[in-house]
């Protein structure tokens, strides 16, 4: 991809399955990785793999995030960190919503607010937000998560308009069902979990769930010079499960 070599790329949730795959792809493009995760061991492991720098902080903590990023120039921000708990909305309690909102909505807002000013000052930047197809078409048991991820889509489109003339692009990638610990936790174990998994695969035109390595290619593209005239767009990576316009 053009324009990625030597760029400083910050990936939140970089120690997770999709985050680590994104980090490896940018490292292969010659980028300089800033691997952010609230779990030190995960951040340091992926940073070592990518010859990058581990940053340990909670994106939901504005002060901690700002302190960790002071004097660090960021060319590309990938807001990948996310978390979910599968539960029907009527069975949740207000306190359950808070953690979901903090990680999936407030955290990315914090990261934009901290990183974007330096991009605007330099007159160039790339932001890729990882949302979810749950935001586009809904997903049973993920009401609050879907609301947060839908908010990220709306926020990204609005922000893209605000900064379009200032050299910074903002785009969104929406993974469909992807083989991660979150999905495995939802499916459960044993025969019941396998039945749900098989039904999910049958619903996907490509007849498989996504893998973490299916996501990084489009993220790298949107962060590259190849996508310099693309902003405010939302792209699903779902094997054809969702085909929303």
Mean pLDDT across 143-149: 96
* Percent of the chain predicted with pLDDT > 70: 95
* Three-state DSSP class for residue 140: coil
From the CB of residue 188, how many other CB atoms can be counted at a distance below 10 Å?
A: 14
197 is annotated as an active-site residue: no
**Residue 245 pLDDT:** 57
Please report which confidence band the pLDDT of residue 196 belongs to, taking 50, 70 and 90 as the band edges.
Answer: confident
Cβ of 98: how many Cβ atoms within 10 Å? 13
From the candidates 26, 57, 145, 197, which is the catalytic residue? 145
CATH fold label, 8-175+214-235: Rossmann fold (3.40.50)
61 DSSP assignment: -
Place of tokens 């708990």: 85
pLDDT band at 102 (very low <50, low <70, confident <90, very high): very high
Q: Compare 105 and 242 and report the one with higher pLDDT.
A: 105
Residue 107: what pLDDT?
A: 98
Distance CA 174, CA 7 (A): 24
pLDDT in tens, 157-179: 999 999 999 999 999 999 988 88
Domain ranges of the chain: 8-175+214-235, 177-209
């Amino acid at each position: 991809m053009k324009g990625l070599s030597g760029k400083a790329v910050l990936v939140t949730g970089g120690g997770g399955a999709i985050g680590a795959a994104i980090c490896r792809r940018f490292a292969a493009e010659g980028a300089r990785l800033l691997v952010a995760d609230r779990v030190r061991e995960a951040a340091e492991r992926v940073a070592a793999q990518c010859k990058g720098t581990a940053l340990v902080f909670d994106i939901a903590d504005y002060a901690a995030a700002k302190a960790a990023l002071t004097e660090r120039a960021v060319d590309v921000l990938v807001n990948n960190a996310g978390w979910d708990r599968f539960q029907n909305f009527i069975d949740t309690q207000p306190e359950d919503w808070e953690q979901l909102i903090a990680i999936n909505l407030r955290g990315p807002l914090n990261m934009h607010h901290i990183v974007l000013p330096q991009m605007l000052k330099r007159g160039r930047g790339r932001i890729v937000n990882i949302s979810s197809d749950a935001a586009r078409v809904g997903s049973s048991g993920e009401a609050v998560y879907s609301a947060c991820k839908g908010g990220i889509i709306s926020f990204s489109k609005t922000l893209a308009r605000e900064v379009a003339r200032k050299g910074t692009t903002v785009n969104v990638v929406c993974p469909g069902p992807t083989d991660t610990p979150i999905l495995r936790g939802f499916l459960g174990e044993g025969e019941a979990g396998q039945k749900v998994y098989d039904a999910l695969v049958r619903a996907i035109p490509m007849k498989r769930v996504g893998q973490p390595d299916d996501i990084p290619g489009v993220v790298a593209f949107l962060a590259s010079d190849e996508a310099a005239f693309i902003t405010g767009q939302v792209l699903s990576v779902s094997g054809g499960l969702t085909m929303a316009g």
